[in-house]
A and B are shown apart, each in its own frame.
Chain A
Amino acid sequence: MRKNIIEVEGLVKKYGSGETELVVLKGLDLVVREGEFVIITGRSGSGKSTLLYQMGLLDYPNEGKIHISGENVIKMDPDDRTLFRLNRLGYVFQDYALIPDLTAVENIALPLMMQGKSHATAVIKATEVLERVGLGDKVYNLPSQLSGGQQQRVSIGRAIGHAPEILFADEPTANLDSETAHEVLENFMKLHKEGQTIVMVTHEREYLKIADRVILLEDGVVKSSGKHSSQKSDD
């Protein structure tokens, strides 16, 4: 039995206050196991991205607990959260979120340098990562010189360059055409095969089959959780 890498308990996230208060997550419970490929899906406004941000330590919930590898990450101060994200988490954003002044290799090398690696070591490692995601010939291209799919692959490279425990991906194919989207998904599948824990948010049904488990959110709580085929009826 694989151990739990993420444990979420009674998670509540609200936006606004008073009459304008909107409760997005309503006491949500969730577990992700090590090496698992989990896809979180649901309708727009169901809270799937909000959940990802809380688990990825990009935002603070109002109530509840989140444990990652047994550590209570809610109680961490901002600096420790930043350090935790740097060393143990990886992110792939919907709009790639690359730094425009940095080349492909520099975008990947930057977090490695922040980890304390020398510039040369970080660049060598980042170049290897770029080769892994099929961009060995685009090392010195700026984001503006890359296509959407290539930028997303650089984003994946940045997310996995430091070998994170968990890779979070927020709608990574939303801005891509279907062919490029498939190429990007292949990268995720390859990483999963290598043992990477992946938590991905998507609303595109055709990708659900690649996950070990699909979690369906509805109105801020988990409506179902299981293999894609087992919860088809819920959709």
Chain B
Amino acid sequence: MIKTFHQIRRLLTSIRVGVFLAVRQIRRGNIWANALIVAIMTLTFLNLIVVSGILVGLIEGAVQAINRHYLGDIFISTLKEKYYIEKTPGLVSYIRSLPGVEDYTVRYIEGGIIEKDYKTSRKSTEKSDEISTLMSGIDPEREAQVSGLRDKVIKGSYLEENDFDQVIIGALLLKDYLPIDSPNFPVFENVSIGSKLRITINGNVREVTVKGITYTKVDEVDRRVFFPEKQFRGIIGRYDYNADEIVLRLSPETDAVSVRDTILAAGFGEFAKIQTREDAEPKFIKDMKETFNLLGTIIGSIGLIVASITIFIIIFINAIMRRKFIGILKGVGIHSRAIEFAYVLQSLFYAFLGSLFGVLIVFGFLEPYFQENPINFPFSDGILVATPEGAAWRVAVLFIFTFVAGYIPAKIVVRQNTLDAILGR
């Protein structure tokens, strides 16, 4: 009992002396050397967060785009066995009465053919220049509010409610934006603002003018042609207001699952497929998210190993350079535990400052910067995914690795013969 008490007392004294030594070594050490070590730790932390964050952000950017421009918070679509959402007007009035629903948009969709250069005479052996795709009738204002389509018009202008025979065409139907030559992704060459296209839907033929080009980096949107719903319902003969897609935007505090369940509980599941955006997310996106998360973790782990080795080298060089003084400390009776503690504390201090600067840079600058200025990848607007939980987790892991990487070199140097250390041999 008394022995244990003495051991605890000695341990506490060692910690106190270790803190005393560490504080003075940091305070009176070379400021540039300290700054360099902290800079290395900051970069190490950024490497942990940013590399995997950008990687995950590539997919997250795509996911956000799908949610923002296509699925919304709740996505209501046609049942497999139906042509459209029956009783749409009743569903819409029910949706409007639900608390937490901020906005909604209704889309009418029909397959059709768009054709260019249809006035050019062709031989009977020549194919016309046409693409089969989905046509969508939208309320321009509502769609702009819910999916932000207006902001994604990259050329020309957005639709007005009373536009007639004017369309917005998705960028992935145009070679300028999808420069590939594949039968699976047919594209038009030389179609731009003001171009005339012939559109055939259910046997109805219209000649329309391209008013704008939209590019959301969401295939489901960028391979569609958009009409104002007034004219579109006439073309497809949908006078009962029954739609094909309804997208709901909820207030931030509203739980999408409970809204979905409320709509289902009201019996509308009989007429439409009602999903949250997570339910409706395409499976390949979910798979890619998992894959990129895994890649991010692997890269993060490699970053962590590199970080540990970096810390190990820094502390080891520091300890080796101070080997003589470590010998003197031992010589005058300072317990090796106090010396080891001083070095571990120093490395933890460097890790703390490095993480602190790293967190400030990530959340104060990089994350908001990439939100405002996403990286322009062909399939998404890449952002930096950095969550406080993820950062906290990495800080904790970095601290654990720093502890080990600081302790081992200190232990190695402290274990050396006291006299050899003092005499530098």
Contacts and interface: CB of A to CB of B under 8 A. Distances in A.
Given A59-B419, A97-B422, A101-B25, A91 B331 contact: yes
Contacts of B334: 82, 86, 110-111, 114
Interface in B8-29: 9, 13-14, 16-17, 20-21, 24-25, 27-29
Contact of B28 (A59, A79, A101, A111): A101
B224 interface: no
State the majority secondary structure of interface residues on B: helix
Interface in A12-68: 53, 58-59
B13 A110 contact: no
A110 B331 contact: no
Interface in B303-356: 324-325, 328-336, 338
B422 A87 contact: no
Contacts of B332: 85-86, 91, 110-111, 158-159
Contacts of A82: 330, 333-336
B417 interface: yes
A10 interface: no
A165 interface: no
A95 B176 CA distance: 78
Contacts of B147: none
A24 to B, nearest CB: 13
B418 interface: yes
A85 B327 CA distance: 13
B5 to A, nearest CB: 12
Nearest to A97: B328
Contacts of B17: 110, 113-114
A53 B327 CA distance: 13
A114 B338 contact: yes
A59 B417 contact: yes
Contact of B422 (A85, A89, A93, A110): A93
Contacts of B325: 99-100
Given A93-B422, A99-B329, A100-B325, A110 B20 contact: yes
B24 A101 contact: yes
Residue from A102, A110, A115, A158 whose CB has the most chain B CB atoms within 10 Å: A110
A76 interface: no
A114 B422 contact: no
B80 to A, nearest CB: 75
A59 B327 CA distance: 12
Contacts of A159: 332
A222 B19 CA distance: 45
Contact of B335 (A58, A79, A89, A101): A79
B419 A58 contact: yes
Interface string B22-40: 0011011100000000000
Contacts of B418: 58-59
Given A59-B417, A59-B419, A86 B331 contact: no
Residue from A78, A113, A119 whose CB has the most chain B CB atoms within 10 Å: A113
Contacts of B21: 101, 110
Contacts of A83: 333, 335
A101 B29 contact: yes
Given A86-B333, A86-B334, A113 B24 contact: no
B15 to A, nearest CB: 11
A113 B331 contact: no
Contact of A102 (B14, B24, B333): B24
Contacts of A114: 13-14, 17, 333-335, 338
Given A113-B16, A116-B9, A119-B20, A58 B29 contact: no
A111 B325 CA distance: 14
Contact of B333 (A53, A87, A97): A87
Contacts of A101: 21, 24-25, 27-29
Residue from B9, B16, B28, B324 whose CB has the most chain A CB atoms within 10 Å: B28
B326 to A, nearest CB: 10
Contacts of B14: 114
Interface in A106-160: 106, 110-111, 113-116, 119, 142, 158-159
A91 B17 CA distance: 20
B331 A58 contact: yes
Nearest to A87: B333
25 contacts: A58-B331, A58-B418, A59-B418, A59-B419, A78-B336, A79-B335, A82-B334, A82-B336, A83-B335, A85-B333, A89-B333, A93-B422, A97-B324, A99-B328, A100-B28, A101-B24, A101-B27, A106-B24, A110-B334, A111-B333, A113-B17, A114-B335, A116-B9, A119-B20, A142-B28
Interface of B: 9, 13-14, 16-17, 20-21, 24-25, 27-29, 324-325, 328-336, 338, 417-419, 422
Given A97-B324, A119-B20, 15 more contacts: A58-B422, A59-B419, A78-B336, A82-B330, A83-B333, A91-B332, A97-B422, A102-B24, A106-B20, A110-B21, A113-B20, A114-B13, A114-B14, A114-B333, A115-B13
Closest 8 CB pairs of A and B: A86-B333, A101-B28, A85-B333, A59-B419, A97-B328, A58-B419, A101-B24, A101-B25
